[in-house]
Structure 1
Amino acid sequence: MFFFVLPGFIIYSVFFAGPTVAALFLSFTDWNGIAPTFNYVGFSNYTNMLTDDPIFVQSLGNNLKFTLGVLIFQTVLSLFFAMLLVKNTKANIFYRAVYFFPTIVASVSVAFVWTFMYDPNIGVINNILSAVGLESLAKSWLGDRNIAIYSLAFVQFWAHTGQMLIIFVAGLHAIPKELYEAAEIEGASKWQTFKSITWPLLAPSATIVVAYTTIQSFKAFDLVIAMTGGGPSYATEILSTFLYHEAFINFRFGYASAAAVIFMIIIAIVTVLQFRLLKSNDVKF
């Protein structure tokens, strides 16, 4: 039995447990990633980050805005489209494939396409707005620090809504049709049917969608780096790009490790809270 679990244990230890312990250890040092020696600094990395680092605080705030925007719109839209395309007709299967397609495209490719579309001079979006007489709505979508993070959030949920749609479709197919027939006989409205049958029985699927979307949004590194690099003026800097800049640009691996530990704790807390909120799976009339 031991030899059956050994490969999985080795992979888990090398690629997860080991790096996690190493990051925790390095978070108490001032290692720069190059020097063979380092000094122990205790909790100073953590205290400086939480009390005297406005960029970290801004990154955390940006990440929360980004995650919340993606979570709300991606979950609502994917559920809406899933309910529209739940029947296995040829047209619905085709549309599911169309919506799913951006998911299999590399994030960097998606970033390049949307960077062009957001371009304030030759971008498709501003050109369309100008063509229909809405020039006043044309903006520098990635250059305006007040809206840049929301522009990135739109690209994120555009690219991954189709992925969540498939999960919801699978959840909808697992709901017994007899429940809907019973609700129809009882004279339940569509809203009552959704509230009492569809949503409660979709709880497992919704839990997966919400948890995965949250983790995915917190880790949206490649999209942000490719489109804005964290700018302008750190307006789109999120925790994952903050880690990158601190470790590989500023060579503060100890400091970046402390940020990684905080990052991991935040994701763990948010995920646990989401599972607790969505674990109810009772059908109530």
Structure 2
Amino acid sequence: MAHRNPGKADGRSHALRRHDNIVGYLFMLPALLFFCCFIIIPMLTGFVTSLFDYTMKTPVSMETFVGLRNYAELFTTPTFYRALLNTLLIVVVAVPTVTAFSLWVASAITPMHEAPRSFFRCVFYLPAVTGTVAVVVVWKWMFDAYNGIFNWALKSLGVIDQNIMWLGDARFAIWCIILILFTTSVGQPIVLYVAALGNVDRSLVEAAEVDGATKLQTFWKIKWPSVMPTTLYVAIITTINSFQCFALIQLLTSGGPQHSTDTVMYYLYTNAFTLYRYGYANAVGVVLAIIIALFSVLQFKTMNTGVEY
């Protein structure tokens, strides 16, 4: 009877594991190189250059090293605080409204047949895949002070007597931006929620209905815990996108009127590509990255309780 050699078997299995690991790392290598070259290195470069008075005329050198002076200037600039408050307003309004509306729409269309469900998913997702410029052109016409549909509708209903400068009035401009951002942000969450609600265990829902649970009780006790991972993802992604709101500001208001629609991203852009203060702009970017990270960690800590993946 032949006897197996444990030493050779262990050596062979160890060699196979090492071979599999090497192959796995080789497959990951292109993605890792891309991540390092286009994510890690630019982040480190941005932080380093934020410590210099780096402009188009003054490159990075020991003579232009200013330490934390850019950060000190940043937190003593009223324009930055105005941009930060506007950004926080966008985040605080957009994140809960986008999440709640998306979940409500998904809950309404999930029980439908496949054809109407697909139709509504396409309708809500269409703004997300449409070019930003095309979306802005349509909204700019709707908000037009003279020929816009909003002024025409409100005057026809007798709500207003004279036209409103929606994008030219500091009272309304930031809310117009939030409305547009809302319409372009609900598409992906609705699709994700429809998929998540479709994966809820039907036996649990049917058992709850047999026991006399109302629709609200069934949703709160069964469906809501099941979609919590999706809710966490939607909240974090919407928060990041809201903090990075830039294209709408650039194309619609350019931060005006009177900095009423300035955001941190637009403030960064202005300093980098209008004033050519690259070091100061990188300091703004570092602060923005830290704020986004803190918000994401806070959301993960508060919403991750009891979530199973």
What is the TM-score with the length of structure 1 in the denominator? 0.94
Among 91, 94, 117, the residue aligned to 1:67: 91
Task: Name the SS of the counterpart of 2:165 in structure 1.
Answer: coil
Query: Residue 148 of structure 2 corresponds to which residue in structure 1?
Result: 123
In the alignment, does 2:104 pair up with 1:80?
A: yes
* Residues 75-120 of structure 1 deviation map (CA, whole Å, 9 limit, x = unaligned): 1111111011113431221121111111100112211211111111
* Residues 200-229 of structure 1 deviation map (CA, whole Å, 9 limit, x = unaligned): 111011011101111111112111110111
In the alignment, does 2:245 pair up with 1:226?
A: no
Task: Name the SS of the counterpart of 1:280 in structure 2.
Answer: coil
Counterpart code for 1:8: A
Q: By how many angstroms is 1:244 displaced?
A: 0.3
* Residues 170-218 of structure 1 deviation map (CA, whole Å, 9 limit, x = unaligned): 1101110111112112211222112111111110110111011111111
Task: Name the SS of the counterpart of 1:135 in structure 2.
Answer: coil
Residue 34 to residue 245, structure 1, CA distance change in 2 (3 Å):
same
Among 281, 294, 301, the residue aligned to 1:269: 294
Task: Name the SS of the counterpart of 1:19 in structure 2.
Answer: helix
- CA distance in structure 1 between the aligned counterparts of 2:162 and 2:97, rounded to whole angstroms: 21
RMSD: 1.6
Task: Name the SS of the counterpart of 1:234 in structure 2.
Answer: coil
* Residues 5-58 of structure 1 deviation map (CA, whole Å, 9 limit, x = unaligned): 2211210111100100001001110001454454111111111111x1001111
- CA distance in structure 2 between the aligned counterparts of 1:191 and 1:31, rounded to whole angstroms: 58
> Does structure 2 conserve the Cα–Cα contact (< 8 Å) formed by 1:203 and 1:280?
no
- CA distance in structure 2 between the aligned counterparts of 1:282 and 1:11, rounded to whole angstroms: 32
In the alignment, does 2:81 pair up with 1:49?
A: no
- CA distance in structure 1 between the aligned counterparts of 2:77 and 2:72, rounded to whole angstroms: 9
Query: Residue 215 of structure 1 corresponds to which residue in structure 2?
Result: 240
Query: Residue 106 of structure 1 corresponds to which residue in structure 2?
Result: 131
Q: By how many angstroms is 1:123 displaced?
A: 0.7
- CA distance in structure 1 between the aligned counterparts of 2:307 and 2:144, rounded to whole angstroms: 48
Unaligned segments of structure 1, at least 5 residues: none
Large movers: runs of 4+ above 4 Å:
none
Among 215, 225, 241, the residue aligned to 2:266: 241
- CA distance in structure 2 between the aligned counterparts of 1:212 and 1:198, rounded to whole angstroms: 21
Deviates more, 1:2-11 or 1:30-39: 30-39
Task: Name the SS of the counterpart of 1:235 in structure 2.
Answer: coil
Deviates more, 1:84-93 or 1:112-121: 84-93
Query: Residue 151 of structure 1 corresponds to which residue in structure 2?
Result: 176
Residue 180 to residue 86, structure 1, CA distance change in 2 (3 Å):
same
Residue 40 to residue 169, structure 1, CA distance change in 2 (3 Å):
same
> Does structure 1 conserve the Cα–Cα contact (< 8 Å) formed by 2:87 and 2:243?
yes
Counterpart code for 2:52: T
> Does structure 1 conserve the Cα–Cα contact (< 8 Å) formed by 2:228 and 2:307?
no
- CA distance in structure 1 between the aligned counterparts of 2:29 and 2:57, rounded to whole angstroms: 33
Unaligned segments of structure 2, at least 5 residues: 1-21
Matched residues, number: 282
Counterpart code for 2:299: Q
> Does structure 2 conserve the Cα–Cα contact (< 8 Å) formed by 1:32 and 1:251?
yes
Task: Name the SS of the counterpart of 2:186 in structure 1.
Answer: helix
In the alignment, does 2:139 pair up with 1:139?
A: no
Among 171, 193, 196, the residue aligned to 2:196: 171
- CA distance in structure 1 between the aligned counterparts of 2:196 and 2:162, rounded to whole angstroms: 39
Counterpart code for 1:186: D
> Does structure 1 conserve the Cα–Cα contact (< 8 Å) formed by 2:249 and 2:255?
yes
Among 237, 256, 259, the residue aligned to 2:281: 256
- CA distance in structure 1 between the aligned counterparts of 2:286 and 2:307, rounded to whole angstroms: 36
Residue 101 to residue 137, structure 1, CA distance change in 2 (3 Å):
farther
- CA distance in structure 2 between the aligned counterparts of 1:271 and 1:137, rounded to whole angstroms: 43
Q: By how many angstroms is 1:137 displaced?
A: 8.5
What is the TM-score with the length of structure 2 in the denominator? 0.87
Query: Residue 13 of structure 2 corresponds to which residue in structure 1?
Result: none
Query: Residue 12 of structure 1 corresponds to which residue in structure 2?
Result: 35
Among 73, 78, 94, the residue aligned to 2:119: 94
